[in-house]
Structure 1
Amino acid sequence: MSTKLRAGQKIKLKSVEELLGVTNEESALDIEIVKIRPFKNHPFKVVDDEKMQDLVESIRANGILSPVLIRPIGFDRYEMVSGHRRMHAAQLLGLESLPSIIRDMTDDEAVVRMVDSNIQREELLPSEKAFAYKMKMEAMKRQGYRSDLGCDGTSGQNDQKLFGKVSRDILAEEMGESSKQIQRYIRLTELIPELLDYVDQKRIQFTVAVEISYIEQEIQRWLFAYIRDNGMVKLNQISILRTELQAGAMTESKMITLLNNSQPGKLPSSKLTFTEKKLREYFPPEYTTTQMRNVIEKLLGEWKQAQ
């Protein structure tokens, strides 16, 4: 039965510790920054932008209010799970240690926790979402989030939320995205880094980038050079290119011609070809090809002047 809020009753928001799953028994310890390495293949960029400067000033004035979450990796060394931006800000301030919650976690548990603690940030780049979704979905699969298994790898009958669903569907619900959109984001991880940077810079539209992701990487490199020199490509151009790729071999020059001819509003170029056998029907047999060409050019010139 749901309970309505009384007038004036405050809504209790979860603390950072609750979001991270930190229990009351866990206490923060000061850990030297030199002993903490970034999370392997961390998909979220840590940049020195205005928000980072705000975080630096906050830490300068108030210290680090929320401890970072790390896991031990042996030999008195640790891996950062949640807190990369706080660690970077602390390094900019010259701090030597961080208040840290230390927790034993498997690789997959750490991946899920790392993604969950970062994915709700505002203004995430498409590349950040792409690799974060991919990492978490793969971790969920290894943990047993399958259509016939529960989250603990046993019969899904004990967990109706998971029953009949695959990891991508569960991830979509958790992230507030459609299953199809999750799939589209993950496709972006198949792009070469240069094209993925263009997606982040909005030099390639999201839907166009998803289509490009199905093209082999050598041709993606040709596409990068084309976009760099000519500007954005449209969805219809990539669709035509993919159709041509299925039909046969492709060269860079052929791709360039194809993209140029398929620009919206531009009529494709075409060739008008006459065989030598056909042309000789109109010339004496002793005429050479050079003589025939000269006559044709002269007649075309006269025709043009008469128009």
Structure 2
Amino acid sequence: MNYNAELVSLNELVPFPNHPYKVDVNEDLRNLQHSIEERGIDEPLIVRRVNEKLQIISGHRRFLASKLANLQIIPVRIVDLDDDQAAIILVDSNLHRRNVLHSELAFAYKMKYEALKHQGKISDDITSYQAGTKYKTDTAAYIAKQEGTSRMQIYRYIRLTNLNEGLLDYLDQGRIAFNPAVELSYLSKRQQDILLEAINDLDATPSFSQAQYLRQLAKEGKYTGDIVYDVLDELKPNQKEKLKIDMEDLKDYFDRGTTPNEMIKIIKESLSQYNSKQNSKKEENDLER
């Protein structure tokens, strides 16, 4: 590989197709933009030549931040890689950054898994981990060893790529937990759409046991919209009924800058005082009788 950096026009660069990592204009990207504006790019992007363009393998965030910083040229290292090699390097270059989303890991592991399978090059020390393993070498185990996790966890992450966009978003937001999400990934696209509609209507997400039940219903051909609504409408174990109050409705009663937690504390104290006064009045009335 040729790692000699050179300067190229941003117009020559194109993103890697279907890469698994989200590149959003958020606070972190803005901070990177400001850093680039002040000091330039510390680490050149890794790219390869594809159809007279330079395809980005590593550095999509730096590329977008550079565009926002109105740079005209950018340092890159041009490497000679085939599709599988490029996919593996792209995945590995981002796996260990902070705050990687569940959905990003899912598509990253899938991309690396497929690239390694296509190459057919797995280290010799990775062999079959259980009776009946289809391949002489175990790609998921190879990735798991690199990531410090289990082969089953790699498979579970790859399962998540079967979720629709809405359920994946709820997973990334933490509204749906990882284990229920894996169970839901076995539902068909139509069944997932029905579930997503019910989640939005009821403002409720399935627990692990509920997700397992929905998966079993689908397997038995008993999955219907009415049943999904009934399942989600059940009170989960240890679930407490919650009173929802829009913070916008309370802003006139608090000083500007009061946080939601501070509001809750003040409300509890006020209710405690109110309750004490009500009890005092009740005692006075009882004495007068």
For the superposition of Structure 1 and Structure 2, which TM-score range results when normalised by the shorter chain? 0.7 to 0.9
Answer yes or no: is 1:235 the counterpart of 2:208: yes
Question: Mapping of 1:105-184 within 5 angstroms?
Answer: 105-145=81-121, 151=122, 160-164=124-128, 165-184=137-156
Alignment correspondent of 2:278: none
Answer yes or no: is 1:207 the counterpart of 2:171: no
Question: Mapping of 1:186-265 within 5 angstroms?
Answer: 186-230=158-202, 231-261=204-234, 263-264=236-237
Question: Distance in 2 between the 1:53 and 1:260 partners?
Answer: 42
Q: Is the 8 A contact 1:71 1:103 kept in 2?
A: yes
Q: Work out which of the two has the higher radius of gyration on C-alpha atoms and give 1 or 2.
A: 1
Measured against aligned partners, the alpha-carbon deviations of 1:89-128 in whole angstroms (never above 9, x if no partner) come to 1100111121011111100000001011111101100000
Measured against aligned partners, the alpha-carbon deviations of 1:179-223 in whole angstroms (never above 9, x if no partner) come to 111111111100011110110011101100000001111111111
Question: Distance in 1 between the 2:42 and 2:153 partners?
Answer: 36
Segments of structure 2 that go 5 or more residues without pairing to the other structure are 129-136, 240-289
Note closer, same or farther for the CA distance 1:250–1:30 as it changes in structure 2 (3 Å cut).
same
How many residues end up aligned between the 2 structures? 230
Question: Distance in 2 between the 1:99 and 1:89 partners?
Answer: 13
Question: Distance in 2 between the 1:210 and 1:68 partners?
Answer: 35
Alignment correspondent of 2:15: 38
Q: Is the 8 A contact 2:34 2:69 kept in 1?
A: no
Q: Percent identity?
A: 38
- RMSD of aligned C-alpha atoms? 1.8
Q: Is the 8 A contact 1:237 1:262 kept in 2?
A: no
Q: Is the 8 A contact 1:38 1:80 kept in 2?
A: yes
Measured against aligned partners, the alpha-carbon deviations of 1:112-147 in whole angstroms (never above 9, x if no partner) come to 0101111110110000000000000110001114xx
Q: Is the 8 A contact 1:241 1:259 kept in 2?
A: no
Displacement of 1:66 after TM fit? 1.0
Question: Mapping of 1:55-70 within 5 angstroms?
Answer: 55-70=32-47
Measured against aligned partners, the alpha-carbon deviations of 1:258-295 in whole angstroms (never above 9, x if no partner) come to 443574479xxxxxxxxxxxxxxxxxxxxxxxxxxxxx
Note closer, same or farther for the CA distance 1:235–1:68 as it changes in structure 2 (3 Å cut).
same
Displacement of 1:247 after TM fit? 2.7
Measured against aligned partners, the alpha-carbon deviations of 1:205-245 in whole angstroms (never above 9, x if no partner) come to 11000000011111111111111222221111122222222
Note closer, same or farther for the CA distance 1:247–1:27 as it changes in structure 2 (3 Å cut).
closer
Amino acid at match of 1:236: S
Note closer, same or farther for the CA distance 1:86–1:253 as it changes in structure 2 (3 Å cut).
same
Segments of structure 1 that go 5 or more residues without pairing to the other structure are 1-22, 146-150, 152-158, 267-307
Displacement of 1:35 after TM fit? 1.2
Alignment correspondent of 1:20: none
Displacement of 1:62 after TM fit? 1.2
Moved more, 33-42 or 43-52: 43-52
Amino acid at match of 1:253: D
Which fold has the larger relative contact order, with Cα–Cα distance below 8 Å and residues 6 or more apart in sequence? 2
Answer yes or no: is 1:185 the counterpart of 2:160: no
Amino acid at match of 2:38: A
